[in-house]
Structure 1
Amino acid sequence: MPAVANIRDFFELLKKSNLLSKQQLMSAREAVRDFTEARGLAKWLLKRDLVTPWQAMQLLSGHHRLFLGKYKLLDVIGQGGMGAVLKAEQSSIKRMVALKVMAKELVRDEKAVSRFLREIQSAASLNHPHIVAAIDADCIGDRYFLVMDYVEGRDLKAWLKKYGPLPVSWSCEVIRQVALGLQHAHELGLVHRDIKPSNIMVTVNPQTGEPHAKIMDFGLSKLVSETKVDGHSTQTGTIMGSPDYIAPEQARSAKEADIRADLFSLGCTLFQLLTGQLPFPGGTIMEKLMARATHVPPSVSSQRADVPLAVSEIVSRLLRLNPNERIQTPAELAARLGSLDMNKPAEATDATTEAAAENLDGVEPDNTLNMFLDHLSAQASDPPSSTSLPTASRSSSASAWLASGIAAACVLVLLIILALMSTGTGRKENSDEDAAQSTKPEPVKKATNVPKKSR
């Protein structure tokens, strides 16, 4: 039963909301006589596109404050530990935007507010086709918010959930575009610190299937690491980032992380796009971080037969624990990915040919990409998600680190291990050939769950 059932009460809330023009409000007043309850009028408004479904539910729930300054709130498109993301319209110019309203605990004191504003200024300095643009930042009452471009599409986490392992050339093109965006940030002295699938939005041309990737949440990761969370103050040495994707040197000290930490995270992301698996498995945060010292990820080509060895070698380079042994800049990564000939298998060394051949026995030519592109046209009938903050897990990493209850001694030991790993004195770095022969999960099967095109 809605909080507001009486149609007269509903109409009064509608008036207070300022959602309708005077003429539209007059039409709604005349329609009141045709209904006996609030839901009837709400449906009438929806049918005429005078309100959105979310606005209607807010009114039926007794809420009428549906503006944040000059922005008309249209829908909630994400919720997480950092706050909420709302689709909104800048009323004066009818421009669609996304508002990231920061959680109060992240901006509860003057120092945190100053940090937030500095970070927003940094984000606003970024102007690149593969970065979601920050347009404005403001404060209404005690609510600080960031205004961003509104981007329809799905983040890579959603793409993985829908399709599983993704086509090789498609995945490499997405990562190439992300690398171009990271290079732009690198040239301005900025590091993202939280590259992961849920922070990469992808839209697709329905005719060609070509992806267009944009990086989200530039400038906000550092805010979480330096701000009080759940009533606790962060401490020196607190590990910040997403444990499935974080570079070892960043886990040791976020301040010491440079662009190569973002490249490590991008390598973890590409590994997952191609295999559907994480390179460093584990249940708890500690297990995931310890896996970097004890687990050598198998080569991607040993897990999936249609991955060229050149791609597999790029992934292995990105996942080097010593940052000096990785690909050094996003520009270098973009150039390597851009030079790949996806239609021509890369030349293999003798050591890797035998390992890869084991996975090719009886394998049919992989038509994953063609299937994927053929059926992307069906996406038009699916309601797309938008620039969003994924639920719960998206930005609760800082809270998770504090809430995990890791003893101080254990943290100290872990940080020592991470320091050894990132300086190259930890576990032996295996080559792509060595990784192909290491203990590994079952090879990835060709994606067969891509929806088939209706005929």
Structure 2
Amino acid sequence: MSASVKTIDDFVQIIQRSGLVDEVRLQQVISAWPDRSLPLPDDLPQALVTANLLTDWQVEQLRKGRHKGFTLGRYKLLKLLGAGGMSSVYLAEHATLHSKVAIKVLPVKRADQSSYLARFEREAQQSARLNHPNIIRTFDLDTSGAIHFIAMEYIAGIDLHAKVKRDGPLDVREAADFIRQAAIGLHHAHDEGLTHRDVKPANLMLDTRGTVKVLDLGLALAGGDEDESLTREHDEKVLGTADYLAPEQATDSHKADRRSDIYALGCTLYYLLVGRAPFAQGSLAERIQSHLRKPPPNLLEQRPDVPTAIVELYFRMLEKHPDARPQTAQEVADALANWLAAGSGKAPAARGELPRRTLPRRSASPGSGPASGATTVVRSGPGSGSSSDVPIGRMPVATATDSGSLSFTPPPSSAARSTQRLPRVTAAGPAARSGRGSQDTQPGDEEQPAKQGRRRPLEFAGLPLGFWIAALLGVLLAVFLGVKVMMR
């Protein structure tokens, strides 16, 4: 174990052994401390940081007596960005290009365990196939001694899990835009034949310009038995994060497909709006069972300000059966893009259940009005059997009279797949209090009979001129005949 640095001379020697700082520049800075036998003052390391010769993280390691591990291949490590059981990520600088990258390092103890190394290498290979503004790019896969590492695009920003922990639940429009961007990136990965299988807030990075990028394809599944054999060989049946695990993925990760990522993205939407995952209570086994059997929690109970359109989309994304969800991530992105463009994020929804779509029934007799017989239709997802002329992957732009609704084209095989009953939103607002019909009823529908009655007198006046001439001649003829009879 390295001994801690105590004197100026100890510190200078450890820097020289690390090779981090050019000797000439090092001597220029430490010349202000000629007596190197003195205890190391705090302002000397700070002077090296101010001169951009060392980083705070490097100083911390050097003061602990560590002089190795600052370089990996052509990269100089500058800062630890994050660490976990699966990997550690560092900010690094290319030795000659001086460009900043993120270096993902596989722990040495993991390299010989099960499929960790194989999956680590596959992550780099699969990520390198993807070139999209909403996906972290991968530049290199290399080794340095016994250390395996991946060089990736560095994003100056924060992941969405950390952002919510720091700032609290997000504004509805902000959350919708972040999910929209993530869906676009996922759709590109899906088109390239990859299923992410670990979509969660921590794997969505937000840069300083507001761009969301999908990262960590370590659990990504490519189509084909050869790719599946990696986890089958090592008997790893369930992979992913329990709080965001689709039901089919919870039973067997090899059953996961693009719709499993859509489920996880729906759980992520809930997290961004509420501050916790939909099924965050209980043990690991209990949370997995919740994904399998429990209906999704009502978003409106936690966030009554979320518009109906977003609540409906959330419930569709969390359908238990994959066929009942939106079938592509692009559908999700289009739905959110259209909602954002319609500017419908301000109207709060009432606390309670999702609205039932009320459609006016044609009257059997004139004047009965639409309110006399309304047909209530509950749409709980693409599998509800609703008809639509909108092709898959394209969402209708919401109009001023229906800016809170979204509709999906159900997949052909999903007629009875919907596995949950949507909660009902109790009516609120002036229309409900005055006893009017559903908000989906056209404003002028109830006035139609009265308007028709007012138009009838005008319709007689609008008869053809020939009719009036014939009538006048008839009257004159009758008068003439009457006078003639009287004269007899």
1:175 maps to: 179
Q: Which amino acid aligns with 2:91?
A: K
Tell me, what secondary structure is at the counterpart of 1:89? strand
CA contact 1:308–1:342 (8 Å) conserved in 2 = no
Partner deviation per Cα, 1:219-272 (whole Å, 9 max, x = no partner)? 35669x9989xxxx95253x2111110101111111221111111000000011
Distance 1:2 1:168, change over 3 A: farther
- Of the candidates 144, 147, 151, which is equivalent to residue 148 of structure 2? 144
CA contact 1:168–1:307 (8 Å) conserved in 2 = yes
- Of the candidates 40, 61, 74, which is equivalent to residue 38 of structure 1? 40
The reply on whether 1:77 has 2:81 as its aligned counterpart is yes
The reply on whether 1:431 has 2:411 as its aligned counterpart is no
What is the correspondence of 1:316-327 to structure 2 with a 5 Å cutoff?
316-327=315-326
1:217 maps to: 216
Tell me, what secondary structure is at the counterpart of 2:194? coil
The reply on whether 1:310 has 2:331 as its aligned counterpart is no
What is the correspondence of 1:221-236 to structure 2 with a 5 Å cutoff?
234-235=234-235
TM-score, normalising length from structure 1?
Answer: 0.71
1:385 maps to: none
Distance 1:221 1:78, change over 3 A: farther
Q: Which amino acid aligns with 1:52?
A: T
Distance 1:353 1:120, change over 3 A: closer
The reply on whether 1:198 has 2:202 as its aligned counterpart is yes
Tell me, what secondary structure is at the counterpart of 2:195? coil
2:300 maps to: 301
Q: Which amino acid aligns with 2:82?
A: G
CA contact 1:180–1:331 (8 Å) conserved in 2 = yes
1:89 maps to: 93
Structure 2: distance between partners of 1:218 and 1:175: 18
Q: Which amino acid aligns with 1:321?
A: K
Distance 1:90 1:431, change over 3 A: same
Partner deviation per Cα, 1:313-366 (whole Å, 9 max, x = no partner)? 000000001001000101111111101024367899997459xxxxxxxxxxxx
CA contact 2:184–2:329 (8 Å) conserved in 1 = yes
TM-score, normalising length from structure 2?
Answer: 0.67
Q: Which amino acid aligns with 1:430?
A: Q
CA contact 1:138–1:145 (8 Å) conserved in 2 = yes
Structure 1: distance between partners of 2:230 and 2:32: 50
Greater C-alpha radius of gyration: 2
Structure 2: distance between partners of 1:204 and 1:30: 39
The reply on whether 1:49 has 2:52 as its aligned counterpart is yes
Quote how far apart the aligned CAs of 1:123 are: 0.9
Q: Quote the sequence identity (%).
A: 36
Structure 1: distance between partners of 2:25 and 2:348: 67
Higher normalized contact order (CA 8 Å, seq sep 6+, divided by chain length): 1
What is the correspondence of 1:326-365 to structure 2 with a 5 Å cutoff?
326-340=325-339, 341-343=342-344, 352-353=354-355
Quote how far apart the aligned CAs of 1:294 are: 4.1
Structure 2: distance between partners of 1:432 and 1:120: 41
CA contact 1:99–1:147 (8 Å) conserved in 2 = yes
Q: Which amino acid aligns with 1:62?
A: G
Q: Which amino acid aligns with 1:16?
A: R
CA contact 1:280–1:292 (8 Å) conserved in 2 = yes
CA contact 2:136–2:213 (8 Å) conserved in 1 = yes
Q: How many residues are matched?
A: 357
Partner deviation per Cα, 1:17-64 (whole Å, 9 max, x = no partner)? 221224213314534415522345323312322211111111111111
Structure 2: distance between partners of 1:150 and 1:69: 17
1:165 maps to: 169
Q: Which amino acid aligns with 1:316?
A: F
Structure 2: distance between partners of 1:111 and 1:317: 35
Structure 2: distance between partners of 1:221 and 1:189: 10
Quote how far apart the aligned CAs of 1:152 are: 1.2
RMSD: 3.2
The reply on whether 1:116 has 2:117 as its aligned counterpart is no
Q: Which moved more, 1:22-31 or 1:125-134?
A: 22-31
Tell me, what secondary structure is at the counterpart of 2:83? strand
Structure 2: distance between partners of 1:53 and 1:236: 40
Partner deviation per Cα, 1:354-399 (whole Å, 9 max, x = no partner)? 9xxxxxxxxxxxxxxxxxxxxxxxxxxxxxxxxxxxxxxxxxxxxx
Structure 1: distance between partners of 2:25 and 2:327: 58
1:448 maps to: none
What is the correspondence of 1:20-35 to structure 2 with a 5 Å cutoff?
20-28=21-29, 30-33=31-34
Structure 1: distance between partners of 2:292 and 2:417: 6
- Could you tell me which runs of 5 or more consecutive residues in structure 1 were left unpaired when the two chains were aligned: 206-210, 355-422, 438-455
Structure 2: distance between partners of 1:246 and 1:131: 21
Distance 1:204 1:282, change over 3 A: same
Q: Which amino acid aligns with 1:432?
A: L
Partner deviation per Cα, 1:61-113 (whole Å, 9 max, x = no partner)? 11112211211111111110112111111121111111110122432169754
